[in-house]
Amino acid sequence: MKHKPFWQFFKSATRSFTDRRISLWIALVGLVVALLVTLVWLAGRYEASQYQAELDRDTADAVSDIRGSLGRHVLSLQNLHAKGLPPKLWASEVRNMFNLNREWLRVERRDAQGLVVQGIDSPLREPVFNSNTRMNEQAEIIQTCLRAKRLNGPAYSRSYFVPQNNGLGFEVIEMCLPTLESGIPVGFVLVTYGLQDILASQLGETYGRRNEISFIESDGTRLAIHGTLPRSRRLFSATQLLDLPGNTLVLRMDGRRSAPDVFPSILPALVTAMSIALVSVLVLLVKDSRRRLKAERDLADALAFRKAMEDSLVTGLRARDLHGRITYVNPAFCQMVGFEAEQLLGKSAPMPYWPPEMVGEYQQRQAVRLAGNAPPREGFESVFVRQDGTRFPVLIFEAPLINVLGKQTGWMSAFLDVSEQRRIEELSRASQERLQATARLATVGEMASLLSHELNQPLSAISSYATGSLNLIQQAQSPAETLGDLKMALERISEQASRAGKVINSVHDFVRRRDQDREVVPPGLIMDAVMPLIQLQAHKLHVKVATRIDEGLAPVLCDRTMVEQVLLNLARNGMQAMDHPDCQDRVLSLQVKRAASSLSHGWIEFSVSDLGVGISDDIEKQLFTPFFTTKSEGMGLGLSLCRTVVEQHGGHLEFVRQAPNGTLFRFTLPTASEV
pLDDT tens-digit profile of 564-579?
Answer: 888 988 998 888 888 8
Task: Determine the pLDDT at residue 396.
Answer: 83
Q: Are 336 and 353 in contact (CB under 8 A)?
A: no
Q: Which residues have a Cβ under 8 Å from the Cβ of 144 and sit 6 or more positions away?
A: 155, 156, 157, 174, 176, 246
> What's the one-letter identity of residue 545?
V
**Strand 544-549 versus strand 587-594 pairing type:** parallel
Q: Read off the pLDDT of residues 432-445 as tens digits, 9 standing for 90 and up.
A: 666 554 544 444 45
Region 539-548 average pLDDT: 88
Task: Determine the pLDDT at residue 591.
Answer: 92
Q: Which of 649, 638, 489 is nearest to 567 (CA)?
A: 638
Q: Are 554 and 671 in contact (CB under 8 A)?
A: yes
User: Range with the lowest mean pLDDT among 147-151, 310-314, 400-404, 645-649?
Assistant: 310-314
Concatenated DSSP letters of 578-647: T-STT----EEEEEEEE--SGGGTTEEEEEEE--SS---HHHHHTTTSTT--SSTT--S-HHHHHHHHHH
Q: Could you give the angle at the alpha carbon of 568 between the alpha carbons of 565 and 569, nearest 5°?
A: 85
Region 521-535 average pLDDT: 86
Q: Read off the pLDDT of residues 159-207 as tens digits, 9 standing for 90 and up.
A: 888 887 777 888 899 999 998 887 788 899 999 999 888 888 888 778 8
Please tell me which of 26-30, 74-78, 269-273 the model is most confident about, judged by mean pLDDT. Answer: 74-78
Task: Determine the pLDDT at residue 200.
Answer: 87
Q: Which of 431, 432, 417 is nearest to 334 (CA)?
A: 417
Domains 66-258 and 313-417 share a fold: yes
> Residue 515 and residue 644: Cα distance in Å, rounded?
13
- 16 or 265, greater pLDDT: 16
Q: Across the strands, what pairs with 253?
A: 213, 238
Assign domain 516-675 one CATH number from 2.60.40.10, 3.30.70.1450, 3.30.565.10, 3.40.80.10: 3.30.565.10
> At 149, phi and psi to the nearest 5?
-65, -40
- 150 or 168, greater pLDDT: 150
What's domain 66-258's architecture?
A: 2-Layer Sandwich (3.30)
- Domain extent listing, the chain: 66-258, 276-309, 313-417, 425-514, 516-675
Please tell me which of 104-108, 334-338, 346-350, 616-620 the model is most confident about, judged by mean pLDDT. Answer: 104-108
> Residue 613 and residue 538: Cα distance in Å, rounded?
17
Write out the H or E segment, with its range, that includes residue 236.
strand 235-244
Which pLDDT band holds residue 107 (cuts at 50, 70, 90)? very high
Task: Determine the pLDDT at residue 609.
Answer: 92
280: burial class by Cβ within 10 Å (0-12, 13-18, 19+)?
Answer: exposed
User: Range with the lowest mean pLDDT among 150-159, 468-477, 653-662?
Assistant: 468-477
What's domain 313-417's architecture?
A: 2-Layer Sandwich (3.30)
> What's the one-letter identity of residue 70?
L
> Residue 58 and residue 211: Cα distance in Å, rounded?
10
- 447 or 568, greater pLDDT: 568
> At 387, phi and psi to the nearest 5?
-65, -30
Q: Is 50 exceeded by the pLDDT of residue 6?
A: no
Classify domain 425-514 by CATH number. Answer: 1.10.287.130
- 600 or 614, greater pLDDT: 614
Region 106-123 average pLDDT: 87
Q: Could you give the angle at the alpha carbon of 472 between the alpha carbons of 466 and 474, nearest 5°?
A: 105
Q: Is 50 exceeded by the pLDDT of residue 466?
A: yes
> Residue 320 and residue 375: Cα distance in Å, rounded?
15
Q: Are 526 and 501 in contact (CB under 8 A)?
A: no
Q: Read off the pLDDT of residues 233-271 as tens digits, 9 standing for 90 and up.
A: 556 888 889 888 988 889 998 886 654 544 444 544 554
Dihedral angle of Cα 277, 281, 283, 288, to the nearest 10 degrees:
150
The three-state secondary structure class of 281 is: helix
Region 5-14 average pLDDT: 46
**How is residue 374 annotated by DSSP?**
P
Q: Which residues have a Cβ under 8 Å from the Cβ of 143 and sit 6 or more positions away?
A: 157
CA distances to 227, 345, 465, 523 from 496, in Å = 86, 85, 10, 20
- 393 or 48, greater pLDDT: 393
Task: Determine the pLDDT at residue 268.
Answer: 46
Q: Is 90 exceeded by the pLDDT of residue 608?
A: yes
Q: Read off the pLDDT of residues 79-88 as tens digits, 9 standing for 90 and up.
A: 988 888 888 8
Q: Is 70 exceeded by the pLDDT of residue 10?
A: no
Task: Determine the pLDDT at residue 169.
Answer: 83
CB count within 10 Å of CB 408 equals: 11
- 45 or 187, greater pLDDT: 187
Write out the H or E segment, with its range, that includes residue 520.
strand 519-521
Task: Determine the pLDDT at residue 155.
Answer: 92
Q: Is 50 exceeded by the pLDDT of residue 394?
A: yes
**Average pLDDT over all residues of the chain:** 77
Task: Determine the pLDDT at residue 167.
Answer: 72
> Residue 38 and residue 179: Cα distance in Å, rounded?
63
> What's the one-letter identity of residue 435?
L
CB count within 10 Å of CB 106 equals: 21
> Residue 214 and residue 66: Cα distance in Å, rounded?
13
Task: Determine the pLDDT at residue 442.
Answer: 47
> Residue 493 and residue 472: Cα distance in Å, rounded?
15
Which pLDDT band holds residue 33 (cuts at 50, 70, 90)? low
Q: Could you give the angle at the alpha carbon of 526 between the alpha carbons of 525 and 527, nearest 5°?
A: 90
Report the phi/psi class of residue 85: left, alpha or beta, with left for phi > 0 and alpha for psi in -120 to 50: beta
539-575 burial code (b ≥16 CB/10 A, e <16):
eeeebebeeebeeebbbbbbbbbbbbbbbbbbbbbbb
Write out the H or E segment, with its range, that includes residue 409.
strand 408-417
Residue 247 half-sphere exposure toward CB, CA atoms < 13 A: 23
Task: Determine the pLDDT at residue 178.
Answer: 92
Q: Read off the pLDDT of residues 277-334 as tens digits, 9 standing for 90 and up.
A: 666 766 676 677 778 878 888 888 887 777 777 777 777 888 888 888 888 888 888 8
Q: Hey, CA dihedral for 69, 75, 78, 80, is it positive or negative? A: negative
Q: Which of 452, 444, 505, 509 is nearest to 638 (CA)?
A: 452
Q: Is 90 exceeded by the pLDDT of residue 606?
A: yes
